[in-house]
């Protein structure tokens, strides 16, 4: 039987919530939360496809993850997992959900002529298989496990990110110039569907945590996570403002704020994000391979402006670190990430640990070491 082996109301979990709430509220002088989504011990070796198709495996994996988060001195509070939202909305519009070798779901585009979007109609919320499965999981988990441990609110893809899972990439980029009305029509439909979907998702959860997937989350509703990778990385600032910004801004207004996840280097569009009136935080993968950090807090760059205005969740990895720091995560933090962050004000910073290494054999050591550096 799947059971939690921790007290959801423990002083340590309450402390994690307090530290994160202070960071999301940009409380001056507050301690920087040190977070780590990985666990002290291995989780059940199920793929995303395994847990999507088998609720027993989803239950086992989700409870084990929550137990693992509670087992260390971690500022990432335990949560009950939900499913990855990447292909959910595209599927409702007709995209076929497929799986890569590791079981990760994705939805390849199926429209090759932009004129086809005028006849496109989505299914009703809950009729497509993945959203229906999400609703079934939330219902089952709340009945079987109760609601003391919050459900991790699902991340949504930004409307333009969904659009490129419906329309062929080259076709949609060309249409931004040749048929912008069709792009706006599609993004309008996606936005309307997303609003309806997320309202139902949030209403179903008796105890949700926010902003949700990708971010360390708290029980207070501080807005939702939007995964905005495609437009942030692919579009120019001018195109972003026309085809992505208006719909993201609307989502932020309706859901009380947005927290932006994106992989890659999106510094050229960070200024566009800062114009969003309800932007609460950003996630970035720090390093020369993705989101390069300035050497000093005085450097005239958009990140130094952003860190004075919003919360910023910093993590890294081999891609972000670049070839020079491949498999040398601790060195990357010592020599690159930490000096650049500590050169400025850390108000609003949330920092993920560097992970395990020969010198830091498990996540408990990694969390302790990172906390000492800050």
Asked if the structure places residue 154 within a domain, the reply is: yes
Separation of alpha carbons 309 and 347, rounded Å: 9
Residues 32/23, Cβ–Cβ less than 8 Å: yes
pLDDT at 239: 98
Segment 27-31 mean pLDDT: 96
The tokens describing 152, both together, are 């991790």
Enumerate the β-bridge partners of residue 156: 226
Task: For residue 349, list its beta bridge partners.
Answer: 312
Position 9 in a domain: no
Residue 12 domain flag: no
Tell me the CATH number at 61: 3.20.20.210
What percent of the chain has a predicted confidence (pLDDT) above 70?
Answer: 100
Domain range for residue 126?
A: 20-373
Task: Please report which confidence band the pLDDT of residue 1 belongs to, taking 50, 70 and 90 as the band edges.
Answer: low
| Tokens 């002529």 -> residue | 113
- pTM for the whole thing? 0.96
Upper half-sphere CA count for residue 108 (Cβ side, 13 Å): 5
User: Mean pLDDT, to the nearest integer, of 178-189?
Assistant: 98
Per-residue pLDDT tens over the stretch 240-259: 999 999 999 999 999 999 99
How many whole angstroms separate alpha carbon 4 and alpha carbon 101?
31
Residue 13 maps to a domain? no
Mean of pLDDT values over 293-303: 95
Q: Is residue 99 part of a domain?
A: yes
User: Are 34 and 374 a contacting pair, CB within 8 Å?
Assistant: yes
DSSP three-state, residue 106: strand
Would you say residue 278 has pLDDT above 80?
yes
Taking the C-alpha atoms of residue 354 and residue 327, their distance in angstroms, rounded to an integer, is 11
Is residue 2 scored above 90 in pLDDT? Answer: no
Candidates 8, 27, 137, 76; CA nearest to 366 is 76
pLDDT at residue 68 greater than cutoff 70: yes
Asked whether residue 3 is domain-assigned, the answer is no
* CA–CA dist 131, 91 (Å, integer): 9
- Asked, as a colleague might, if the bond just before 211 is cis with ω within 30 of 0, I would say yes
Number of domains in the chain: 1
CB 160, CB 244: distance < 8 Å: yes
pLDDT at 361 over 90: no
* Dist CA 125 CA 130 (whole Å): 10
Residue 42 in this model has a pLDDT that exceeds 90: no
Average pLDDT over residues 147-168: 97
Answer yes or no: is 11 within a domain. no
Mean pLDDT of the chain: 96
Q: Tell me, yes or no, whether 176 lies in a domain.
A: yes
């Amino acid at each position: 039987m799947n059971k939690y082996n921790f007290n959801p109301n423990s002083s340590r979990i309450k402390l994690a919530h307090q530290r994160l709430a202070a960071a999301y509220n940009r409380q001056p002088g507050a301690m920087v939360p040190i977070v780590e989504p990985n666990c002290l011990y291995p989780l059940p070796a199920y793929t995303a496809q395994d847990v999507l198709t088998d609720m027993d495996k989803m239950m086992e994996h989700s409870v084990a993850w929550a137990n693992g988060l509670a087992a260390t001195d971690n500022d990432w509070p335990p949560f009950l997992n939900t499913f990855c939202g990447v292909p959910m909305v595209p599927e409702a519009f007709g995209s076929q959900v497929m799986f890569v070798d590791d079981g990760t779901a994705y939805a390849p585009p199926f429209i090759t002529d932009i004129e086809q979007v005028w006849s496109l109609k989505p299914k009703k919320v809950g009729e497509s298989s993945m959203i229906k499965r999400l609703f079934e999981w939330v219902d089952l988990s709340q009945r079987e496990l109760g609601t003391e441990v919050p459900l991790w609110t699902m991340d949504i893809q930004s409307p333009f990110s969904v659009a490129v899972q419906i329309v062929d990439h080259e076709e949609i980029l060309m249409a931004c110039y040749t048929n912008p009305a069709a792009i706006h029509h599609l993004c309008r439909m996606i936005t309307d569907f997303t609003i309806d979907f997320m309202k139902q998702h949030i209403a179903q959860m008796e105890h949700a945590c926010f902003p949700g997937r990708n971010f360390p989350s708290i029980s207070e509703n501080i807005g939702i996570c939007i995964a905005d990778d495609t437009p942030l990385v692919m579009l120019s600032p001018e195109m972003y403002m026309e085809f992505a910004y208006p719909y993201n801004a609307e989502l932020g207004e309706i859901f009380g704020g947005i927290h932006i996840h994106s992989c890659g280097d999106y510094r050229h569009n960070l200024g566009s994000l800062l114009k969003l009136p309800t932007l609460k935080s950003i996630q970035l993968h720090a390093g020369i391979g993705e989101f390069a950090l300035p050497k000093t807090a005085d450097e005239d760059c958009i990140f130094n402006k952003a860190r004075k205005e919003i919360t910023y969740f910093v993590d890294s990895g081999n891609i972000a670190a670049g070839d020079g720091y491949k498999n040398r995560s601790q060195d990357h933090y010592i020599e690159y990430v930490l000096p650049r962050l500590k050169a400025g004000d850390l108000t609003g910073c949330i920092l993920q640990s560097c992970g395990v290494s020969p010198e830091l054999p498990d996540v408990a050591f990694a969390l302790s070491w990172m906390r000492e550096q800050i």
